[in-house]
Structure 1
Amino acid sequence: MNMNRHEEFGGNTNKGPVQEHDVIMRGRRLLDITGVKQVESFDNEEFLLETVMGFLAIRGQNLQMKNLDVDKGVVSIKGRIFDLVYLDDHQEKAKGFFSKLFK
């Protein structure tokens, strides 16, 4: 059977390249995230990223985008990180969650 590990666990079954998704945090001050499809919204207190594994919400203080490479799907964020939460895959639900949470 010629199946890669990602396909075994219900991942991307098309024949295109599978993009990895990793989140690396260094000391609650720096985040390196791979597998980012799009930056939906951001300000100094929250980021909403669409990743290959769903929407990722990042909350914190004095957040800044340090690096963005759209072609490689890499985002680096610096600031004081409070939390990271994966949301539903549907964009509207993710935006609705944030609008209720931060009113």
Structure 2
Amino acid sequence: MEENPGMAHKIVLNNRNLGNLTGILDVISFDENSIVLDTDMGLLTIKGKDLHVNRLSLEKGEIDIEGRTDSLVYSAGGGAKSGESFFAKLFK
């Protein structure tokens, strides 16, 4: 996917159940308890219960999620500025 420097990273979370996120570069992994996203601002891990991806558009950099959100945690690495894929970093 081509990087779009004008894409804003934004999180909207309604009642800890419905989320809309922009500035998404890739989905690294997801299951019912966690979703790991590569964003313009680095890796974002969302933890919770009964998490589901309702809509994903990597072309627009958007994702809609549903389920109880317990935490949102950013970590170094990933993001538009890293220039290295998740798997390349993993296997160093």
TM-score range relative to shorter protein: 0.7 to 0.9
Q: Provide structure 1 residue ranges, at least 5 long, that are not aligned to the other structure.
A: 1-15, 96-103
- TM-score normalized by structure 1? 0.71
More strand by share: 2
Q: Which residue in the other structure is 1:51 paired with?
A: 39
**Distance in structure 2 (CA, Å) of the matches to 1:66 and 1:84:** 18
**Distance in structure 2 (CA, Å) of the matches to 1:54 and 1:38:** 11
Matches within 5 A, 1:63-102: 63-90=51-78, 91=86
**Pairwise CA distance, 1:89:** 1.3
Q: Provide structure 2 residue ranges, at least 5 long, that are not aligned to the other structure.
A: 79-85
Deviant stretches of 4+, over 3 Å = none
Superposed CA RMSD in Å reads 1.8
Per-residue CA deviation, residues 56-89 of structure 1 (Å, 9 max, x unaligned), is 0000000000110111000011000000000111
More helix by share: 1
- TM-score normalized by structure 2? 0.79
The one-letter code matched in structure 2 to 1:45 is N
